[in-house]
Chains A and B, each alone.
Chain A
Amino acid sequence: MHLSPDQVIFWQWGWVKLNLTIVTTWVLMALITGLSCLATRGLGRTVREDGAVSHWRSAVEWVISLVLQQIVEVGLPRSEKYLVFIGTLFVLVATASLCTVLPGYEPPTGSLSTTTALALCVFFAVPYFGIREQGMWRYLRNYLQPAPIMLPFNIVSELSRTLALAVRLFGNMMSGGMILGILLMVTPLFFPVALKLLGLLTGMVQAYIFSILATVYIAAAVGSHETEKAVITKG
């Protein structure tokens, strides 16, 4: 039994290696891309002659609209600009969690490398969007708020929340897999199924939390620290 799918290595050449995490991620990418193609294929034809919209198109638009609405509610009014990043985060983590129902599947989010990669993406996306919206100096000036003495604390906060993002997701996904493996050895039938369902719920919640936290960080960088505080207090 291994803690991380990184330990399952299919091919290695020097420090370059092809492990289960990468392969599973590729498979998930292919799956998500394929489903996206299916979802948007013939999107123009899904409008009937009477002007009504088909159910499939309505479902796709409903999911996208839901993500957009969540982004807006967090504090990013122009949600289309952040949909690609935040939506992809949510779709990847959610798909990785949903696929845990497949036997023998190990989610790539159960790898600290993957969650670290995603957290790093968020870490770099926050200043990217912040600088794009506010400009370099105005964004950097936020680190001196409310007083210049707060600069090291703000930097530590940025690093710690990135670390928290990575460890939180990794911990939840890895623990779910570990507990499931242990229970399969102890009680092979009922509890693993119940825990599988619970794992699905936990996975979806983690996907939502990861995405919403990323949104909050971006909103805080784009807007003001007040938005971040308000959302965190509310959460």
Chain B
Amino acid sequence: MLIDWFTVLAQVINFLVLIALLKHFLYRPVLNAIAAREQRIAQELLAAKNAVITAQTELAQLTQERQALQRQRETMLSTTQATALAEQNRVLAQAHEAAQRIQDDSRLAMQAEFQQMSDLIVQRVCSEVLDLARRVVSDLAQDDLQSHMISVFLGHLRQMDTVQRVPFDRLNASTPWSAHSALPLSTEQQQILMTGVKAVFPLVTTLTFEVVPSLLCGMELLADGYKLTWNAEDYLAQIRQNLLTLPPWSESVSAPVGENP
């Protein structure tokens, strides 16, 4: 018989024993190891998943922060641009104001300088003309010229208006009179002058004659601080006055400078 039932029973027992042995020595350790490894892998996957979630959260947060920074940057940029524009306008206004002030100051300084120059030129011209006239008169000074000047002076005395006469008419006879001339007068000329003066002012009793070189070409009659004079210097003074009051000097020069861009 091929089947030995004792062997069958023994093999069943052997198989059951082998099951117990393998369960203890093989399956349980391996299954535990597999379970532990799977648990570790699951934990690592969970950790990785959490890390991914954390990374995504941080990424979203960083994105929001970056957007906020971008907005802040744009705001700051626009504010800075507005501030810079305002500062630019303010500085430009200040520069324009300063330039205008400097321009005005320059124009005023130039006008003053031109005025000074014109005054100087006028003074120089008058002085030169006066010296020239003085030299001419000195060169031409002769008795005829003195006589002619006396004649002219007496003519002016006679044509003197009432207003000019008033201070002299109030003088008394004791008031000393003096006549100034640029060149010494001859006796005849003195007599003529004395006669002419007494004709106009009868109260004149004494008349002294003095030579004043600065008179250039003319004569003066003085009494008690009042003076009647005819002198070529009066003409020169009139010329000088006319020159000094010429407006075109200053305006014609300063007008182009005053043009603003």
Contact = CB atoms under 8 A, between A and B. Distances in A.
A10 interface: no
A69 to B, nearest CB: 12
A22 B15 CA distance: 11
B202 interface: no
B40 to A, nearest CB: 8
Interface string A111-139: 11110111011000000000000000000
A107 to B, nearest CB: 12
Contacts of B16: 121
Interface stretch (B26-34, B71-79, B151-159, B206-214): B26-34
Contact of A36 (B2, B6, B12, B21): B21
A186 interface: no
B28 to A, nearest CB: 9
Contact of B3 (A22, A37, A112, A118): A112
Interface in A36-88: 36-37, 39-40, 43-44, 47, 51, 53, 57, 60-61, 64-65, 80, 83-85, 87-88
Interface residues of B, number: 30
B8 interface: yes
Contacts, number: 114
Interface in A91-123: 91-92, 108, 111-114, 116-118, 120-121
B191 interface: no
A83 to B, nearest CB: 6
Contacts of B34: 61, 64-65
Nearest to A12: B6
B39 to A, nearest CB: 13
A77 B67 CA distance: 52
A84 B27 contact: yes
Contacts of A16: 6
Contacts of B9: 117
Contacts of A120: 8, 12
B165 interface: no
Interface residues of A, number: 47
Interface in B2-45: 2-12, 14-19, 21-23, 25-27, 29-31, 33-34, 37, 40
A6 B7 contact: yes
B11 A118 contact: yes
Given A91-B22, A111-B7, A113-B7, A57 B15 contact: no
B26 A39 contact: yes
Nearest to B2: A112
Contact of B33 (A19, A26, A32, A44): A44
Given A29-B18, A36-B25, 4 more contacts: A22-B14, A25-B10, A43-B29, A87-B22
5 contacts: A36-B22, A64-B34, A80-B31, A83-B31, A114-B8
